[in-house]
Amino acid sequence: MSDASTAAPADRTSSELDGRVALVTGGSRGIGKAICLALSARGAAIAVNYASNESAAREVCEQIAAAGGKAIAVGFDVSDPEAVDAGVKQVVAELGGLHILVNNAGISIDALLMRAKDEDWQRTVDVNLKGAFACSRACARHLLKARTAGRIINVSSVVGEQGNAGQAMYAASKAGLIGLTKSLAREFAGRGVTVNAVTPGFIETDMTDAALQGDARTALADSIPLKRIGRPEEVAACVAFLAEDGAAYVTGNVLRVNGGLYI
Ligand SMILES: NC(=O)c1ccc[n+]([C@@H]2O[C@H](COP(=O)([O-])OP(=O)(O)OC[C@H]3O[C@@H](n4cnc5c(N)ncnc54)[C@H](OP(=O)(O)O)[C@@H]3O)[C@@H](O)[C@H]2O)c1
């Protein structure tokens, strides 16, 4: 069995999370990858979850190891509760505990309501909402044991707060995630465990790649008060803040990372 306290990235930004273990769902790419790197740079040992892209998850682990940190890749579909339970057991067995859960894995299937299919609704809700529910439940015992170091951080979306035409399924799942966040914040508060959400706006990743090309990109950037698309690292910095001891009195919160798109 490995010891999380040996994690000590050479390029660390702080030692705030020394000895802590973080599971980041969807850590293989985009925002999740940036979160893995940010938490590792603060000293946490990282379980990098992925759905199918094992090589990308292993690359994240190698990047963390090259910086002197510790990470393992753990493949499971967050929408499959049995697979989630097995994955969480693996994380605890290999990294020696679990203090921080970041429910980041998500998909976006866009369609106007009249063209939306039942199976697309089901898959969106299964991954984005049931996934966070299943992961939170599987991790709960370990997070409660971590007491004031325990954290759940859910990656919702600006779309869950303000809605978006053509994204009803995605928006509903992300709004549901905010309800889950607030309820679990109340449920876990007695043990000092905090539960918060971040709501990114438009962030440069594979998910938004198609929408962020050419004139559409310029128009989109113009509609954002800070006049630019966000970077995964900017979301990761907010997640890292919520994971640190300095945020121990912040719970049930929704932290907007959207360049002022929704205020
Ligand atoms: N990009 C944005 O502008 C934006 C804005 C607001 C909110 N968000 C939210 O931020 C989160 C990350 O988005 P992103 O833009 O970084 O997405 P992305 O680049 O498409 O990456 C998605 C990640 O989720 C994983 N994943 C997908 N389905 C999964 C499943 N069923 N089980 C486990 N992992 C799964 C993927 O794993 P594989 O690599 O194995 O496929 C990948 O690591 C999502 O929840 C998204 O809704 C994004």
The pLDDT of residue 47:
99
What whole-number distance in Å separates Cα of residue 64 and Cα of residue 112? 41
Length of the chain: 263
Whether 226 maps to a domain, the answer reads no
Whether 92 maps to a domain, the answer reads yes
Q: What is the average pLDDT across 20-36?
A: 98
Q: How many domains does the chain have?
A: 1
Whether 225 maps to a domain, the answer reads no
Q: Is the pLDDT of residue 232 over 50?
A: yes
Whether 262 maps to a domain, the answer reads no
Query: How far does the chain reach from its first CA to its final CA, in angstroms?
Result: 46
Q: What is the average pLDDT across 92-116?
A: 98
**Average pLDDT score over the chain:** 95
Name the residues annotated as catalytic: 170
Whether 10 maps to a domain, the answer reads yes
Distance 190 CA to ligand 1 centre (A): 31
What pLDDT, in 10s, does the model give residues 4-18?
Answer: 444 444 467 889 999
Distance 34 CA to ligand 1 centre (A): 12
Burial class (CB within 10 angstroms; exposed 0-12, middle 13-18, buried 19+) of 113:
exposed
Question: Which residue ranges have their beta carbon within 6 Å of ligand 1?
Answer: 25-26, 28-32, 49-53, 56, 77-79, 104-108, 127, 155, 157, 200, 202-203, 205-208
Residues 6 or more apart in contact with residue 259 via CB below 8 angstroms: 201, 202, 224, 225, 226, 227, 228, 229, 230
Whether 214 maps to a domain, the answer reads no
The pLDDT of residue 11:
63
Whether 212 maps to a domain, the answer reads no
Q: What is the separation of C-alpha 249 from the centre of its chain, rounded to a whole number of angstroms?
A: 20
Distance 29 CA to ligand 1 centre (A): 7
- Which atom of ligand 1 lies nearest, measured to the CA of 30? 16
What pLDDT, in 10s, does the model give residues 81-95?
Answer: 999 999 999 999 999
Distance 225 CA to ligand 1 centre (A): 25
Which residue of 29, 103, 212, 254 sits with most ligand 1 atoms within 8 Å of its CB, as the best mutation to test the pocket?
29
Q: Is the pLDDT of residue 202 over 50?
A: yes
What pLDDT, in 10s, does the model give residues 133-152?
Answer: 999 999 999 999 999 999 99
Give residue 211's pLDDT band: very low, low, confident or very high (50, 70, 90).
confident
Are the CB atoms for 27 and 36 separated by under 8 Å?
yes
Q: Which CATH number covers residue 98?
A: 3.40.50.720
Whether 40 maps to a domain, the answer reads yes
Give residue 1's pLDDT band: very low, low, confident or very high (50, 70, 90).
very low
Domain that holds residue 197: 4-204+231-257
CA-proximal residue: ligand 1, atom 42 (nearest): 26
DSSP 3-state of 225: coil
